[in-house]
Amino acid sequence: MEKNILKNCALCPHNCNIDRTKGKIGRCKAKDTVKIALYSVHDFEEPAISGENGSGTVFFSNCNLNCVYCQNYEISQLGKGKEISVGRLAEIFLEQQDRNVENINLVTPTSYVPQIIEAVKIAKSGGLNIPIVYNTNSYENVETIKALNGIVDIYLPDLKYADDSLAKKYSKIDNYFAIATQTIKEMYKQVGKTIFNEKGVMQKGMIVRHLVLPNNIEDSKKVLTWVHENLPDVYVSVMAQYFPTYKAKEITEINRKLNKEEWKEIEDYVEALGIENGYIQELGEHEEEYVPKW
């Protein structure tokens, strides 16, 4: 992918077509420089991602979605972070590897794909040899994902909604389901069936994530049904970690955590579908504690 795409940015389905090299910003508010909020060793991803040594997360600032319940809203919506060069990003990848992490985990990377590709190539020439994880909301242009073929080893996409009216209401986007499912199919086409090492840590493959929202159990069932019917051997991560934050506190139907009845209904549905590959969280009480301090 040519970095010149930033002169007429169409990396994601918003297709803002603005010149980011001149400081103009579109929906995601990203400029042509890389902006990150944090890089750390993260122990709380799925077991196949964090493993024993943790995942080498790099949290990018800005996002092409505006989710009212975003747990990382300080960086995704408010833009908290620091601008760095592509060369510095490559150094961070290598520094993470030196910490003996299981992988490099790119969190909310969509706005910076051209720079990430360049940084990965630089880092690999300097000895980077652990898997690259692409951790995304799935509101992607397929051409952007195609550019990552051979760069990304593991895709970690969300499938947030089946109902586009919910996507519009909670994330301010159109046509989410059609776009996200097409994107996820392209990801699967690239990485194929999951490969683990001898310690059970993923080396190649995909985990589709779904965060269950209160009062939206039926939509979650539709999401899980699509994954099971279309990608039967893909790993699924069903997440219970929702808590009201950011603008969700102002929306009655999602201004609470999941209750036990809702979560039991989801657990029963996963079992009824026969989903065997993946993870389903336990319903907890202190989800807020797992959000990084920016």
HEC assignment per residue over 172-218: CCCCHHHHHHHHHHHHHHHHCCCEECCCCCEEEEEEEEEECCCCCHH
CA–CA separation, 142 and 185 (whole Å) = 9
Structure tokens at 39: 């890089």
What separation, in Å, do the N-terminal and C-terminal C-alpha atoms of the chain show?
31
Q: What is the pLDDT along the chain (294 residues), one digit of tens a residue?
A: 666 899 999 999 999 999 999 998 999 999 999 999 999 999 999 999 999 999 999 999 999 999 999 999 999 999 999 999 999 999 999 999 999 999 999 999 999 999 999 999 999 999 999 999 999 999 999 999 999 999 999 999 999 999 999 999 999 999 999 999 999 999 999 999 999 999 999 999 999 999 999 999 999 999 999 999 999 889 999 999 999 999 999 999 999 999 999 999 999 999 999 999 999 999 976 666 667 776
The one-character DSSP state at 282 is P
Q: Name the strand (E) or helix (H) holding 67.
A: none
Is 3-211 a CATH 3.40.50.300 domain? no
Tokens coding 264: 């039991």
- Report yes or no: 187 and 145 within 8 Å, Cβ to Cβ: yes
Structure confidence at residue 284 (pLDDT): 78
Cα gap 39→8, rounded to integer Å: 29
Name the residue with tokens 């389901």. Answer: 177
d(CA 252, CA 180): 27
Tokens of 212: 């269950």
In sign, the C-alpha dihedral spanning 19, 20, 23, 24 is positive
**Confidence (pLDDT) at 86:** 97
Neighbours of 183 (CB within 10 A): 24
Cα separation of 35 and 86, whole Å? 10
Strand partners of residue 227: none
Yes or no: say if 226 and 162 are a contact pair by the CB < 8 Å rule.
yes
Contact yes or no for 132/103 (Cβ under 8 A)? yes
256 membership: H or E segment, kind and range: none
Nearest to 187 by CA among 212, 152, 216: 152
Domain segments of the chain as ranges: 3-211
Rg of the chain over CA atoms, in angstroms?
A: 18
176: Cβ contacts below 8 Å, ≥ 6 apart: 139, 160, 161, 164, 167
Query: What count of residues does the chain have?
Result: 294
**Which amino acid, residue 210?**
H
**Cα-Cα-Cα-Cα dihedral of 65, 68, 74, 75, to 10°?**
-10
* Helices assigned H by DSSP within the chain: 47-50, 73-76, 86-98, 113-125, 142-146, 164-171, 176-191, 217-230, 260-273
Torsion of CA 196, 200, 203, 206, to 10 degrees: 80
**Which tokens in the block code for residue 100?**
């003996």
